[in-house]
Amino acid sequence: MAEPLLKVENLEAWYGESHILHGMDIEVREGEVVTLLGRNGAGKTTTLRSIMGLVGRRSGSVRFEGQELVGARSDRIARAGIALCPEERGIFASLDVTENLMLPPKVRDGGMDLDAIYTLFPNLKERARSPGTKLSGGEQQMLAIARILRTGAKLLMLDEPTEGLAPVIVQQIGRTIREIKERGFTVLLVEQNFRFAQTVADRHYVVEHGRVVDAVSNAELSGAMGRLHEYLGV
Amino acid sequence: MASGHASTAPALLVPEAPGLLGLSGLGFNRAQSIAFLVMLGVLLVGPFLLYPVFLMKLLCFALFACAFNLLIGYVGLLSFGHAMFFGMGGYVAAHAAKVWGLTPELAILAGGVVGAGLGVVAGWVAIRRQGIYFAMITLALAQMVYFFCLQAPFTGGEDGIQRVPRGALFGAIDLSSDLTLYWVVAAVFLAGFLFINRIVHSPFGQVLKAIRENEPRATSLGYRTDDYKLVAFTLSATLAGIAGGTKALLFGIATLTDVYWAMSGEVVLMTLVGGLGTVFGPVVGAAVIVTMQNYLAEFGAWVTVIQGVIFVACVLAFRAGVVGELGRILKVRL
């Protein structure tokens, strides 16, 4: 089989003196939805941030479409076709919804147009002129996801998109992820909630102490519940 | 989508509360349109009620403060060396008008070009660092420029460049009358003001605001933020140079005062008193400070002390500045 869309090998990363990632290995194939499961502090977010080039010191290999990106600047990584939707969402408070949506540069063809985005997120259309600060948590999350759908990025990395949101919003985000998968996007998802992860993902990696300790396909997930409970302590 | 986001954006914008007289086309909201009309009115009747030279001085500083605000208010970069652009713009405009015999509009333009050149160099060095380091680098560079102005033969050292002719605009309109010059200065100010407003409301300006708010996020969305900061810095320096050049022609003199670090501090003061990151704040701030200097001049050295007290009072009582606070009370963006 051809090289996967994203191949992370032996990725290590540091925040200042603290060594956070100790050799992550992940593969994400085109069109897949893959999750990173793990407890708080396991290094899931750091993995996404390292792939995006936001962690100062990193080593190992991050290959995207065969291109080595581990030493690249963050803006180059974005232009290569990777987009990150961070946990804190990163909505710009001084811009309104439309401005936030239109802000990211188009990195290549194949992104969704505004109409399609508004069909997917009708709330955003209603609130097109609201400032970024006046949105509810769910709306902010949708805006954060919608914003990176427009750019043509191929790999979307979503960091805990369901955190702190009402069940009905969580369902809507689940639908969204399935929909964007159908549209051919590839998703790397960080989740604590594996019941949610189960409803959207093809495969799961379990992360502990900055490395992958287990990999489970979605079909095996129910059978692996015992193991997962142990890893995640839930 | 087939074309870039910049070109398709305007068509997709949902119309907001309508502006007045099509002023929303300039990027103004309703409140800003009203404020702009008021400002325009003041500009029109001002010279008939007040001493035109005072008003012109005010407008030069207002443009200087607006240029400075573009950087601190919209990109979040605190330059503590903007006097180098203002002062150098003044020297070069004065030299161009007096020695090279250029017409005033070209002399002012020369001031802007020098501001731009200096801005590219200073910006290129300074944007590599943030916060206090950025401020200190710009201060250090400005001190070097000050020293250069003290030593270089063309600046006249302690004497400055004196008896600069106002000349004739486009070689045709004699500017020796204060009122004629006033309209020119007002036009320069207005052009600069609207230009800055255009920048702020363009897609480029939105990227600047995104950088101010969350630079790593702007980077990870795919923007090379250093490029944007450098362009903003250069634009700000250019406009500061134009403001300095206009002031030199107005008074017929370019001196070390305008390139001294205290001038860098004064523009910070004007912007803060008026309201950082507001469209009209720097204009109001410049008006407050210049008026104070003018009418308190009889107190001599005490002006600085009074200024200091007012500054502290402003920062303590209304941190958002006069205009910022007004906007908060009226619940509008000014």
> Is a pLDDT exceeding 50 seen at residue A224?
yes
**Alpha-carbon B102 to chain mean position:** 24
Percentage with pLDDT > 70 across chain B = 93
What is the number of domains present in chain B? 1
Least Cα distance to B315 among B274, B257, B286, B284 occurs for B274
> Residue A56: inside a domain, yes or no?
yes
Q: What are the tens digits of pLDDT across the range B64-96?
A: 999 999 999 999 899 999 999 999 999 999 999
Q: Between chains, do A75 and B223 touch, taking CB under 8 Å as contact?
A: yes
A100, two tokens: 């936030």
Q: Does A124 touch chain B (CB under 8 A)?
A: no
Domain range for residue A73? 6-232
Q: If you search the block for the tokens 């100062």, which residue do you land on? A: A56
A81 within domain boundaries: yes
The CATH number given to whatever domain includes residue A85 is 3.40.50.300
| Residue A80, phi then psi, degrees to nearest 5 | -75, -20
Q: Using one digit for the tens of pLDDT, what is the confidence trace for B136-150?
A: 999 999 999 999 998
Rounded Cα distance between B267 and B260, Å, is 12
**What is the CATH classification number for the domain harbouring B305?**
1.10.3470
Contact partners, residue B110, CB within 8 Å, separation at least 6: B92, B93, B96, B102, B245
In a domain, A228, yes or no: yes
With a pLDDT cut of 90, the percent of chain A lying above it is 27
Banded model confidence at residue B209, pLDDT cuts 50, 70, 90: very high
Q: Is A90 on the interface with B (CB under 8 A)?
A: yes
pLDDT at residue B57 greater than cutoff 60: yes
- As for the ipTM of the complex, it is 0.82
C-alpha to C-alpha distance for B127 and B123, rounded to whole angstroms:
6
Between residues B92 and B20, which one has the greater pLDDT? B92
| CB B188 within 8 Å of CB B240 | no
Q: Would you say residue B237 lies in a domain?
A: yes
Res B101: pLDDT: 85
Q: For residues A4 and A232, which has the higher predicted lDDT (pLDDT)?
A: A4
Q: Which two tokens stand for residue B218?
A: 């702007």
Question: Which residues touch A164 (CB under 8 Å, ≥6 apart)?
Answer: A137
Chain B nearest C-alpha distance from A92 (Å): 6
- Does the pLDDT value for residue A68 go beyond 50? yes
Domain carrying residue B69:
27-330
pLDDT score for B63? 95
Residue count of chain A = 234
In the predicted model, what is the mean pLDDT of residues B287-313? 83
**Per the domain annotation, does A189 fall within a domain?**
yes
Q: How many domains does chain A have?
A: 1
How many degrees, rounded to 5, is the angle at CA A178 between CA A172 and CA A179?
85
One-letter amino acid for residue B266 of the chain = E
- B222 in A contact zone (CB under 8 Å): yes
Query: Do the domain assignments include residue B159?
Result: yes
* Closest to B173 measured CA to CA, from B187, B152, B161: B187
Of B207, B220, B224, the CB nearest to A52: B220
The shortest CB-CB distance from A103 to any of B14, B212, B221 is to B221
Tokens found for residue A170: 């969580």
Cα A25-A30-A36 angle, rounded to 5 deg: 40
Q: State the virtual CA torsion across A220, A226, A230, A234 in degrees, nearest 10.
A: 90
Gap between the Cα atoms of A161 and A193, Å rounded: 10
Contact A75 B4 (CB under 8 A): no
pLDDT value of position B299: 80
In whole angstroms, give the CA distance from residue A171 to residue A12: 34
pLDDT of residue B29: 81
On whether the CB atoms of residues A80 and A64 are closer than 8 A, the answer is yes
pLDDT in tens, B178-193: 888 899 999 999 999 9
In a domain, A1, yes or no: no
Best residue of A74, A82, A140 to probe chain B, by most B CBs closer than 10 Å: A74
Q: How high is the pLDDT of residue B177?
A: 85
| C-beta of residue B160 within 8 angstroms of C-beta of residue B154 | no
**Nearest-angstrom CA–CA distance, B64 and B247:** 10
- DSSP 8-state class, residue B173: E
A11 within a domain of the structure (yes/no): yes
Going by pLDDT thresholds of 50, 70 and 90, the confidence category of residue B11 is: very low
Q: Please classify residue B316 by burial: count the beta carbons closer than 10 Å to its beta carbon, then call 0-12 exposed, 13-18 middle and 19+ buried.
A: exposed
CB-based contact (8 Å) between B225 and chain A?
Answer: yes
Assigned domain for A39 exists: yes
Report pLDDT digits (tens) over A22-62. 989 999 999 899 999 888 888 899 999 999 999 888 999 99
Task: Specify the pLDDT at position A96.
Answer: 87
Residue from the list A74, A98, A111 with its beta carbon closest to the beta carbon of B219: A74
> Are B220 and A84 an interchain contact pair (Cβ–Cβ within 8 Å)?
yes
Closest Cα to residue B256, out of B138, B146, B153, B92? B146
pLDDT for position B17: 46
CB contact under 8 A, A95 and B210: yes
**Residue A2 in this model has a pLDDT that exceeds 80:** no
In a domain, A50, yes or no: yes
Buried/exposed code over A89-108 (b: 16+ C-beta within 10 A; e: otherwise)? bbbbebbbbbbbbbbbbbbe
Outline where DSSP puts E strands in chain A: 6-15, 18-28, 33-37, 57-64, 67-68, 82-85, 155-159, 186-191, 203-208, 211-217
Task: Mark yes or no for CB contact B206/A113 under 8 Å.
Answer: no
Mean pLDDT is lowest, of A68-72, A195-199, A225-229, B45-49, for: A225-229
Condensed to tens digits (0 to 9), the pLDDT of residues A124-136 reads: 888 888 888 788 8
Specify the pLDDT at position B22. Answer: 61
Confidence class for position B16, pLDDT limits 50, 70, 90: very low
Check CB contact under 8 Å for B1 and A74: no
**Token pair belonging to B22:** 């099509």
More confident position, B302 or B122:
B122
> A208 is written with which tokens?
């502990």
